[in-house]
Amino acid sequence: MHDIRAIRDNPDAFDAALARRGLSGVSSRILALDDARRAKIHAAETAKAEQNRASKEVGAAKGRGDEAEFERLRALVAEKKAEIARLNEEAQAEDAALRDLLLTIPNLPADDVPAGADEDDNVEVKRHGTPRQFNYAPKEHYELPAVQRGMDFEVAAKLSGSRFVVLSGGVARVHRALAQFMLDTHVDEHGLTETMTPVLVREEAMIGTGQLPKFGEDSYQTTTGWWLIPTAEVTLTNLVADCMVEESYLPRRYVADTQCFRSEAGSAGRDTSGMLRQHQFEKVEMVSVTRPDESDAEQKRMLGCAEAILEKLGLPYRTMLLCAGDMGAGARRTYDIEVWLPGQDRYREISSVSTCGDYQARRMNARFRPEGGGKPEFLHTLNGSGLAVGRTLIAVLENGQEEDGSVTLPEVLHPYLGGRGRLTAEGELSRD
């Protein structure tokens, strides 16, 4: 959410920042609601002063026996009481309308975010590794002989419908190994705190991180009112919701491996084959909570954590700085990491690392108290995939595929697979 004082001070700059996202200015609507709210509050305060003054004069009129004045003043007190109640109710309605509007407005891009409308305008900032050259046409992950027994979309469709998968055998174990490897690396080498959270949350949590109210159609809500998390960003970030933390508590760095749930609204016809785009998937998520002056450096650190996973797995990737028009609504700046998929002959997103500034903290009322005193400040929050487990599985399978239908697995996974480093064409794990 946005600071109303900053909008009052410079509405043109606010609208200009939204224009970088391709959005029309809304400062006039915001300020109209703000002015109406403040006018009602001022009128209620004026009426309260008049009520207090009349209340004091009631006793004096009674004491001198002026019944007419007594009755007039008593009626005036009652009138002002009703007026105050009405004005306060109207002010609350204006305040709710203002908050509802502010909750739908995306974050403002950082100054260094490139201009642009969509992914075609994103800027490549890094490329690591060289895509492997095959002497045959590489297959997509779901076409590989090694996964035919262990990646079942037909059974999943019978159970749940389209965009689900059942993994079993060696494929399931490689998937689990990837998640464990990611967690161990983030905890042991990157210093993140492993965290287990619910996957069902209240509406307030989804509002806090920005999924609601505008993007509810992208997620699933239960009949009891809970929401299934689309990412552990929701739960990890909301750990500091409605909190006043000490500066010495910062930074906080969390990591969690959870199931995630997305309706994929608007993605009909896209990535319909395989497990690239699923309604339910597993993701290792990183979240950091920092002081405002540390958040830019923290984003670079988190980006390095995500890139390190791909480098240890030996997977080629490139890192893109997203343009203003392609960023998610809650982000101030976003880097996407795209891994090379030889079966598709292209790079595909496997991680997004975003800094949100104080946008989420204002929605959650999450602040910190500076050391040595001073006025409390809103925290800065950051999030990033470290990584999407299913997409990493896809990349491992496609990049490690062999002409005989088997898959050579990254060496860093061998300890998690009982020393086995190959998925045979029959889908069995093997040391050969």
Where in the sequence numbering do the catalytic residues fall? 262, 277, 349, 352, 391
In a 3-state reduction of DSSP, which class is residue 331? coil
What DSSP string runs through 379-432? -EEEEEEEEEHHHHHHHHHHHHB-TTS-EEPPGGGGGGGTT--EE-TTS-EE--
Beta carbons within 10 angstroms of residue 400's beta carbon = 23
- Is residue 160 a known part of a binding site? no
- Is residue 349 a known part of a binding site? yes
- Is residue 350 a known part of a binding site? yes
Give me 35's structure tokens: 């002015």
Distances (CA, A) of 306 to 269, 288, 353: 29, 13, 8
In a 3-state reduction of DSSP, which class is residue 167? strand
- Is residue 247 a known part of a binding site? no
Nearest CA among 359, 152, 101 for reference residue 274: 152
The tally of CA atoms less than 13 A away on the side-chain side of residue 423 is 31
Give the whole-angstrom CA distance, residue 368 versus residue 244.
Answer: 5
What DSSP string runs through 189-203? TT--EE----SEE-H
- Is residue 232 a known part of a binding site? yes
Give the whole-angstrom CA distance, residue 236 versus residue 27.
Answer: 32
- Is residue 411 a known part of a binding site? no
Give the whole-angstrom CA distance, residue 300 versus residue 306.
Answer: 10
- Is residue 231 a known part of a binding site? yes
Task: Provide CB contacts within 8 A for 423, sequence distance 6+.
Answer: 146, 147, 170, 171, 174, 397, 406, 407, 409, 429, 430
What DSSP string runs through 174-186? HHHHHHHHHHHHH
Bridge partner list, 169: none
11 φ, ψ to 5°? -65, -35
Confirm if 416 and 180 have CB atoms less than 8 A apart.
yes
Strands (E), 28-87: none
Cβ burial of 390 (10 Å; 0-12, 13-18, 19+) is buried
263 φ, ψ to 5°? -75, -15
- Is residue 204 a known part of a binding site? no
Max CA-CA distance within the chain? 110
Binding residues for L-serine: 231-233, 285, 385
Binding residues for ATP: 262-264, 349-352
